Amino acid sequence: MSLRGKCALITGSTGGLGRVVAEHFAREGCNVVLNGVVPEAEMTAALADLEATNGISARYDRADLREPDEIAAMMQRAFAAFGAPRPFPADGGGEA
């Protein structure tokens, strides 16, 4: 099954295991939406690197996963940008 052109939304992906998962899906051709709690400016270089290295589109969404309305809005933004997020691997991360 090809993942090229699909959208992978990975929570907890600003570093650690979540970032590794995002990089894997990008290598497989998925457009990726990274999620975490760091300021967006801190993700600019990582997004540019994912795009340049893998020929995909990457976005960052700082939705707070403790807030259902923010999760719904993040999903809507991902869908508007890339279509339905599939796969949707979740990494809880240790950020609080």
Query: What is the extent of the structural domain holding 59?
Result: 7-82
Q: What is the pLDDT of residue 96?
A: 42
Is 88 among the domain residues? Answer: no
What's the whole-number average pLDDT of the chain? 90
Is 17 among the domain residues? Answer: yes
- Please state the separation of Cα 85 from the chain's center in Å: 9
Is 27 among the domain residues? Answer: yes
CATH number of the domain to which 13 belongs: 3.40.50.720
Domain count of the fold of the chain = 1
Is 60 among the domain residues? Answer: yes
Model pLDDT for residues 53-89, shown as the tens digit of each residue: 999 999 999 999 999 999 999 999 999 999 988 766 6
Is 54 among the domain residues? Answer: yes
Is 43 among the domain residues? Answer: yes
Could you tell me the pLDDT band of residue 91, with boundaries at 50, 70 and 90? low
Q: What is the pLDDT of residue 1?
A: 73
Could you tell me the pLDDT band of residue 33, with boundaries at 50, 70 and 90? very high
Q: Is-contact 26 47, C-beta < 8 A?
A: no
